[in-house]
Chains A and B, each alone.
Chain A
Amino acid sequence: MCWKHKFASLCLHLFHCVATLDSNADIISTVEFNHTGELLATGDKGGRVVIFQREPESKNEPYSQGEYNVYSTFQSHEPEFDYLKSLEIEEKINKIKWLPQQNAAHSLLSTNDKTIKLWKITERDKRPEGYNLKDEEGKLKDLSTVTSLQVPVLKPMDLMVEVTPRRIFANGHTYHVNSISVNSDCETYMSADDLRINLWHLAITDRSFNIVDIKPANMEDLTEVITASEFHPHHCNLFVYSSSKGSLRLCDMRASALCDKHSKLYEEPEDPSNRSFFSEIISSVSDVKFSHSGRYMLTRDYLTVKVWDLNMETKPVETYQVHDYLRSKLCSLYENDCIFDKFECAWNGSDSVIMTGAYNNFFRMFDRNTKRDVTLEASRESSKPRAILKPRRVCVGGKRRKDDISVDSLDFTKKILHTAWHPTENIIAIAATNNLYIFQDKVNSEMH
């Protein structure tokens, strides 16, 4: 039986590379599709944002199926210096979130450790020609040469994409901003740092509401920090935040102004047989994402991804092992700091498949329905155009098949921390250090 059919339900084997984009200057630090999937934004360590646009499918080239090309590049954040603390503020873009499109322009929020910015992206493809007072180059005409009046007409020009900063939300955070999330009301958004979460209005930059504050009165008592947060996709009053102790807190903004008391606390009791000094570190949640339906939450900790039902606080409904073979290597991973790597996770459009990154440029996908999973690699070899991705395997001793990688030869410097899934189609964007890979399902997904 051809292995293609074996994985048919996952469609994963059909992913082939449509673009490999070198941002050779810098490490990509965030990847995000907009709400239609037409645009893909990446942020990097140098404070730059690069936006890719999907080309409309051409009837002449049925295989092109809409490739992503660079649409715009701009410098979002610059390095800054905090004179008070004598510390540098990195320009690295931690997160980008798109606003739902409300007119011809696109808008996105980008943030570094301290400052959030709202950018407006507009297109200009026409320009007026035939001014009365100015000539073609814009110089003022000699009035004596003007003998008649003309009405300027709009003539087509080469497409120009203009990006302007519309709002700068500064001085809201003492600690490092790790997440931003736009509310479904499209008017407000929240930003979370290690100890506090603020609610902003998109039009107001000089103040924000603090809605969560877990800073202890005495900093010596600090044992837990906020690691990620997100608004519910449909209920504008609900949001969730995750902690370094592995818990999730769902908060309702209607309950009180300061949401220090959670409405629901999601926590899985520790497995006593797996207890070690690293238990807490590996339980720290690095990312939390609501499903598109709003019924579930997806969390990523160091070794697993978990699906939580909003109605069940005692334990996750599904747990998937990402790379359990690392469990016996935790001491080394603690020493080289890899244990602190923050991997992100993603849902597909129909919430049936979840994806997350791993080491050695591997990323993993789990089909929630069939319970099948696959490991794929984002690398130059596997990324010849139209090349179909081959499933990879990590062997942990015992039988070793050809092309298997042993745990000890994994490259821990090649980590896929940031991944994104197109909102409706089977197109994924994978950031591997300073390379961006875009993989696409060859067959149009009507299978879900």
Chain B
Amino acid sequence: MFMRGLKRKCFDGEEDIEGTLAGIKAIPSYNLQRQSLLDMSLVKLQLCHMLVEPNLCRSVLIANTVRQIQEEMTQDGTWQMINMQNTGQASVDRLVSTDILCRSSREQAEGKHVPGYSTFSKDFEGDQAQDSSETMSTASSVQALRNLQSNVWEMENSQENKGNFQKSLDQIFETLENKSPNSVEDLFSEVDNSYYDLDTMLTGMMSNTKMGHCDGLEPFPSPTTTTSSSNCKSDLNELDHIVEILVES
């Protein structure tokens, strides 16, 4: 367990401004910054899966950072232990509820957006997402990381033949660890493909959202849309309009 004072070193300007006087004041600020870092990292992981081919070193370093934050949160007791393990396995067979689609981009930016990305998120997660407390959003972020991983993996496969499934196992962050390849393939056959496109479009939207927490930091670079399939883009344009309506309602 690290000293509070030492931890603050990693954030810009914290040292100078806070100093030693606001021991109490520093604590919520630190948690907020840590949460912001977690959110930023999750968005980065999402972003990097949008590029031509993800830089594996960068992805691994970001994922390690996320794990580190989560471990610390667990130690701190700010982590709510929900049955992560069980949900990870069971989550993949539920489609996204419109509830998540209708969430504002601000809410989604605060850490609840990741469940929104996921094509397959549990209903329970959707319920949790209503809760605006910080702890809930951090709790969902581990789930989010897994969903992210599964989501990425799914995104990359959705445009290809299912026969390429086996070969894509080398892609980073394979998920569904306890699933055998055959059972997952069966899983896919039940899925309506239109949701993949919706999901792709959503992630495209989210990655253009600025993080609200850190002022004065540079905005994210917009992701290069290098997706090779032209089908995806035309669908995006069509659905763009639809979701715009949904989100604004």
Whether the pair B164, A84 counts as a contact (CB closer than 8 A) is yes
Given contacts A225-B57, A277-B37, A280-B64, contact A331 B10 (CB under 8 A): yes
| B36-67 with Cβ < 8 A to chain A | 37, 40, 44, 52-53, 55-58, 60-61, 63-65
Whether the pair A224, B60 counts as a contact (CB closer than 8 A) is yes
Whether the pair A275, B229 counts as a contact (CB closer than 8 A) is no
Interface residue? A23 (CB, 8 A): no
- In the complex the two chains form, what is the Cα distance from A175 to B7 in whole Å? 35
Contacting residue for A86 out of B2, B175, B229, CB 8 A:
B229
Whether the pair A227, B57 counts as a contact (CB closer than 8 A) is yes
Whether the pair A87, B228 counts as a contact (CB closer than 8 A) is yes
Shortest Cβ gap from B172 to chain A (Å): 6
Whether the pair B11, A87 counts as a contact (CB closer than 8 A) is no
Contacting residue for A277 out of B13, B52, B68, CB 8 A:
B68
In the complex, which of the residues A113, A223, A277, A330 has the most CB atoms of chain B within 10 Å of its own CB atom? A277
- In the complex the two chains form, what is the Cα distance from A280 to B53 in whole Å? 23
Residues of B within 8 A of A (CB-CB), count: 52
| B1-35 with Cβ < 8 A to chain A | 2, 6-7, 9-13, 15, 33-34
Q: Which residues of chain A are near B15, meaning CB under 8 Å?
A: 328
Whether the pair A219, B172 counts as a contact (CB closer than 8 A) is yes
Shortest Cβ gap from A57 to chain B (Å): 43
Whether the pair B65, A331 counts as a contact (CB closer than 8 A) is no
- In the complex the two chains form, what is the Cα distance from A274 to B229 in whole Å? 46
Q: Which residues of chain B are near A219, meaning CB under 8 Å?
A: 169-174
Closest 6 CB pairs of A and B: A276-B10, A194-B56, A219-B174, A87-B53, A336-B218, A88-B52
16 intermolecular pairs with C-beta atoms under 8 Å apart: A84-B164, A84-B168, A86-B160, A87-B53, A89-B53, A90-B53, A174-B170, A176-B53, A280-B61, A284-B57, A331-B11, A331-B217, A332-B214, A335-B211, A335-B218, A335-B220
Apart from A281-B61, A284-B57, A340-B58, 10 more pairs, CB < 8 Å: A84-B168, A85-B164, A89-B53, A219-B171, A219-B174, A220-B174, A223-B63, A328-B15, A331-B11, A337-B221
Interface residue? B151 (CB, 8 A): no
Interface residue? B149 (CB, 8 A): yes
Q: With CB as the reference atom, state the residue of chain B lying closest to A340.
A: B58
- In the complex the two chains form, what is the Cα distance from A88 to B226 in whole Å? 8
In the complex, per-residue mask of A44-86: 1 if CB is within 8 Å of any chain B CB, else 0:
0000000000000000000000000000000000000100111
Shortest Cβ gap from B155 to chain A (Å): 11
